[in-house]
Chain A
Amino acid sequence: MLTCSVRCQRASRQLFASSSTNPFVQTRSYASQPKKGQVVKQASQGFKGKKGALPGQAEPAKKDKKMAFQPLPVSQLPHPLFESDRPDTLSLQSFHPEMLTRIVESQALKFPHNDNDPFRIFGLPRNILVEYRLLSKPCSVIRSVTIDAINKLDAASEKESWQSRVIFTGPQGCGKSFLLLQAMQYCNARDWLVLYIPRATSLVNSTTAHVYDMRTRTYLQPVFAYQTLQRFLKVNAPKLEQLRTQTDLEIERRPAVPADTPLVELINIGLKDQGLAPTVLSAVLEVIGKQTTFPMLLAIDDFQALYGKSHYRDQHFSAIKSYHLSMPRLLLEYASGRKSFARGAVFGALSMSNTTFPLPLELCEALSLEYDRPYGPYVKRSSELVKYTHRLEKLAVPNSLTIPEAASVFDVWMKDRAVPTKPNDELFLSKYSEASGNARAFVWKGLLSSIST
């Protein structure tokens, strides 16, 4: 009971806290209470009645579509229920690129909070978003594989991106998405240009508009390209202002963009007209690919979603392949090395928990991973996908956290009052053993599902 009340208290405090401490505010339109005089329509009229408003009753008032679930600021929560008996003890060092060495392995560092945070603007994968809504500060634990990834990024900053195409692999819940997030934050702090796609599944699950284009012979996704341009500009604005186009660029339905045009101006062309966004995005990445002032990181989560059939259908109801959609095709061309940045890298993270977009055979073979279905030499492989997986490098994320890493994770959640009981070794070791060291299982099925007092 005590556990439940404290957890509810903590959850309600998190939920109603001001957005200045917790930036992950959600806006939703929940069903409102019926207003005075408003009639609530019955869901079913039974055998005899017609569907629709009953005779003699007024039609229900329209819902206020602008209503959103806004959390209250902390100053409006004076009730003692919202007061905590323990002071806030989670104090973490900031994630600075200079301090990321083997010395800080197994330490938790908090991500800096500013207006142009890449993960606030680009978005986050669903699992990480849910965790950061519970935690008081977005943070992560530095692991040995983090240092390995950072070393690869340091090496990649002087090389072309086709030489540094790394995919994080590992079982589900081992921390691939977190690792990609850390890599992205590191690059952003190191003055790289960063383009982060947190959910590549949204490119192929038929949630944005698509239209066939005769020139490129692919299906353009103007809305997604527009949003990507907008976010890319917001995160990298200070660096993009220093870059200019090197050659004349042709754009549909308008005069060519002359050489030496600021890159920001080129991006604004795509932002003014959504129909031009795919062409502008492609042109912007080409310009960035030729410059050597700033290295570029292209980070893609749910990487395997780019390698399968999409949920889009063509006009004859055949499934559209992912490389016939403009956005996935653009990402695949950089991931496969067909297009390259003069300085930079392409990092991807697989998602093993998404059953709608499973790991395809071609990607498994390229990364020497175990395929979960029977296969052999007579199973057809798509030649296009095999070419798109050419020489991808694998970075295996260990399935289990080491004891010091798990201890840091435990420390973060304990200090953030995730579990009402006082932290002790017995709880830590029992949850660590139950989860076999798996990070997601340790946090979600171990700590947060614990009812021990």
Chain B
Amino acid sequence: MVHVLGVQLPDYQYARFALTAFYGIGHKTAHRLCARLQIHDKCKVRSLTPHQITELAAFLSSPSTSIPLPRMPLASLSYKPPPASTPLAVLKEETKKLAKKAWADPLRNIKIESEARRVVKDNVAHQRMIGSYVGKRHAMGLPVRGQNTQTNARTAKKLNRVDRRG
């Protein structure tokens, strides 16, 4: 089992699916996260390297402050790679010169766990504060979006409140 930021990721699951265990991460965000960390689609959590797990934890702890990744240069048809004995520093220097500026990264704006729950809570609290219909329905613990209340409405009665956890 791998624990990342308090969330348990089972070993036997695909990493792309396991990341959806985080509150605020769905399948699309999980796919983007895996692409960012160079995790292939069929990689299981037990196959993740310690470096990948550390990067994942570091990124998820603060997505907005993560370093933007440059676009790495890719080999053209006629590219002949330098010999394998080329020092790493030289390769890094050349790559840095050819790397292009990063595009806007949607992953930097994601909110997970407590931050995501706070957003939901703040939205509901705002609706209550301005005295809107949505706020009143949350306060009464009834459905908000025009659903039937004569029957059903069990989920709304259970979960809807002003200080909703999310």
Please give the residue numbers on chain A whose beta carbons come within 8 Å of chain B beta carbons, in ascending order: 47, 205-212, 214-218, 250-252, 256, 279, 311-317, 323-324, 329, 384, 387-388
Contacts and interface: CB of A to CB of B under 8 A. Distances in A.
A120 to B, nearest CB: 24
A374 to B, nearest CB: 28
10 contacts: A209-B47, A210-B38, A214-B95, A218-B75, A311-B41, A313-B34, A313-B35, A316-B35, A317-B31, A317-B32
B86 interface: yes
Interface in B24-77: 31-32, 34-36, 38, 40-43, 47, 69, 71-77
A384 B77 contact: yes
A218 B83 CA distance: 15
A252 B87 CA distance: 10
B74 A206 contact: no
Contacts of B83: 250
A111 B138 CA distance: 73
B155 to A, nearest CB: 8
B63 to A, nearest CB: 14
Contacts of B154: 47
Contact of B31 (A217, A279, A313): A313
A208 B43 CA distance: 8
B130 interface: no
Contacts of A312: 40
Contact of B82 (A212, A215, A279): A215
B84 A252 contact: yes
B35 A315 contact: yes
Contacts of A315: 35-36, 38, 69, 72
Interface centre among A205, A314, A324, A384 (most CB of B within 10 A): A314
A314 B35 contact: yes
Nearest to A211: B38
Given A206-B42, A316-B103, A217 B81 contact: yes
A312 B74 CA distance: 14
Interface centre among B42, B47, B86 (most CB of A within 10 A): B42
